[in-house]
Amino acid sequence: MSKKGAASVEVGVEVMAVRSTRVVLDETICPAEIIICNGQISDIVPRRSRAPASGQKVLDVGDLVVMPGIIDTHVHTCEPGHAAGEGYAFATKAAAAGGVTTLVDMPLCRTHCSGLPFPPQSAQLPAKEEGDSGNCLPPTTTLANLASKLQVAAGQCHVDVAFWGGLIPGNQEELISMLQAGVPGFKCSLIASGVEEESPHVSLQDLHMALNELQDRDCVLLVHAEQELGQWKPTLEPWFSTTVSGHFPGSPHSDPTEYRTFLDSRPDTMEVEAIHIIANLCLQYKVPCHILHLSSAQALPIIRDARQKGAPLTVETAPHYLTLTAEGVPPGATSYKCCPPIRGKANQEQLWAALQEGLIDMVISAHTPCSPDLKLLADGDFFKAQGGIASLQFGLPLLWTSAKPRGFSLHDMVQLMCTKPASLCRLDGRKGALRPGMDADLVIWDPDKQFEVKKNMIQHKHQLTPFLGFQLHGEVLATLVRGRLVYLKGKFSPTPEGDLLITQTKMPVRVSSPYY
């Protein structure tokens, strides 16, 4: 499998050692041999040239890069509840093919993102249908619902899977029991999901009550940070044409198949206002808060100011915000639709600068699978089409292709995709770095190999992604989860080997006081 020799082991086996001339350790990249015992790294020694003893499963990958397995903390699956959607088997296969060794399952129906907080009659959302992809039923908002998720996921997963809990109005009394059951934190949304009967968005009072309950607990609150404005006020970017008028109230653009019409309806202000609210609450309660899929660079000054004042606030962005631009979205290309939306090139460059500064902590897929019929590919209406982008399998090459020319190193990749995500989901004691005592989760890849994203290589159930046809650098050759070779050059372990993970959460004995 390497440039210097063939692999000595087959997919599915437990590997005893991995050798490479380029192993990414905390402080250096060097030739090394990673010794594995009982699924953990037992030692890291200088690379040996001797042949393995008979029966030893040693994987010598030559000069391919070996680094910690990627941790993707933002993945939507459609189980339980939607057999037609992408469940754990497909999602974790795609993860393994992309070097992701741990994913964290999102608890709530993802935001439909119609585009208009109060859409006119011509932009009404389609009724939710049975089999709607991207959703899970029931959402992980109670201890019983978490148990349902664990039961369905058991035996299906090709990589390790952890689970976020969900915060919705009225479930504050469930939070502590879910923490005790092993969730590392809770996700909520400040904007309507489109399926409010299953995943209603939270109010300011809900947030106060939850944060008061979560104070002094070792957990994090994740927030879809968009805030509905009192009325729709389109924000025009300089490159927009203003020659069309009349279709939506107040908008100079009329064609729902034009991306600029959709983007007008989802202005930066929606993110800025929401992040301002979360930053203030984070400062007030000192509960770690995390901004999901940041799109708007206009919110960066708020984040910087809150951190300087001591707020335990972290931020992620996604590969699509760093690699796609609004200027490049073709008419009717609803595979590009997501919320918050993909914005303009100038905004994107500010996101890259924030990554270099460390103001954005990590890059996560925000993987949201969707079937072609719900994306309305033939119709091309951005307002009616389902939102969400599928990229779980391609996060590493997507980021590396754009990051390397900007001066990012392999160590930067580890921080953005492994170490900091591990800390977010409270798994940094066992994942996210190559050290003795850590889980032997490894991705083996060639950062110099260029390839084209083709449909037949996509492991996502629906094989629908805006990145189809992209030329990327950084091919994943193999993935190990706790020492077992779960993926090797297009082949998967015949038996799903992933574990369902729980975290040990600090639970102080105290009585919650009213927030007011």
For residue 110, what are its two tokens?
């993802």
- First and final CA of the chain: distance in angstroms? 61
For residue 128, what are its two tokens?
């939710």
Q: Count CA atoms closer than 13 A to 192's CA, side-chain side.
A: 13
Within 68-139, residue ranges assigned H as helices are: 88-97
Cα(484)–Cα(39) distance, rounded to whole angstroms?
A: 7
In which element (H, E) is residue 211 found?
helix 204-214
pLDDT at 127: 32
pLDDT at 116: 43
- H helices, E strands: number in the chain: 13, 18
Q: In this predicted model, what pLDDT tens digit does every residue of 263-285 receive, in sequence order?
A: 999 999 999 999 999 999 999 99
pLDDT per residue as tens, the chain (516 positions): 544 433 468 999 999 999 999 999 999 999 999 999 999 999 999 987 666 655 679 999 999 999 999 999 999 998 887 667 789 999 999 999 999 999 999 998 655 555 443 333 333 333 333 333 456 678 999 999 999 999 999 999 999 999 999 999 999 999 999 999 999 999 999 998 766 666 789 999 999 999 999 999 999 999 999 998 863 333 434 433 332 233 344 455 579 999 999 999 999 999 999 999 999 999 999 999 999 999 999 999 999 999 999 999 999 999 999 999 999 999 999 999 999 999 999 999 999 999 999 999 999 999 999 888 899 999 999 999 999 999 999 999 999 999 999 999 999 999 999 999 999 999 999 999 999 999 999 999 999 999 999 999 999 999 999 999 999 999 999 999 999 999 999 999 999 999 999 865 555 555 555 555
Q: How many residues does the chain have?
A: 516
Q: Are 302 and 296 in contact (CB under 8 A)?
A: no
Pairing of the two strands 100-105 and 58-60: unpaired
DSSP character at residue 393: G
Of residues 228, 230, 223, 351, the one with CA closest to residue 279: 223
Q: In this predicted model, what pLDDT tens digit does every residue of 167-194 receive, in sequence order?
A: 999 999 999 999 999 999 999 999 987 6
Chain Cα centroid distance, residue 303? 20
Cα(199)–Cα(186) distance, rounded to whole angstroms?
A: 13
pLDDT at 502: 82
pLDDT at 102: 98
CB atoms < 10 A from the CB of 436, how many?
12
Cα(436)–Cα(10) distance, rounded to whole angstroms?
A: 24
For the beta sheet containing 70-75, the strands, ordered from the edge strand earlier in sequence to the opposite edge, are: 70-75, 100-105, 160-163
Residue with tokens 């984070």: 282
pLDDT at 117: 39
Classify residue 116 by burial, with Cβ atoms within 10 Å: 0-12, 13-18, 19+: buried
> E-assigned strands of 343-392?
362-363
Tell me the one-letter amino acid at 174. E
pLDDT at 288: 98
> What backbone phi and psi angles, to 5 degrees, belong to 123?
-120, 25
Q: Are 497 and 158 in contact (CB under 8 A)?
A: yes
Q: Are 453 and 466 in contact (CB under 8 A)?
A: no
Q: In this predicted model, what pLDDT tens digit does every residue of 331-375 receive, in sequence order?
A: 999 999 999 999 999 999 999 999 999 999 999 999 999 888 899
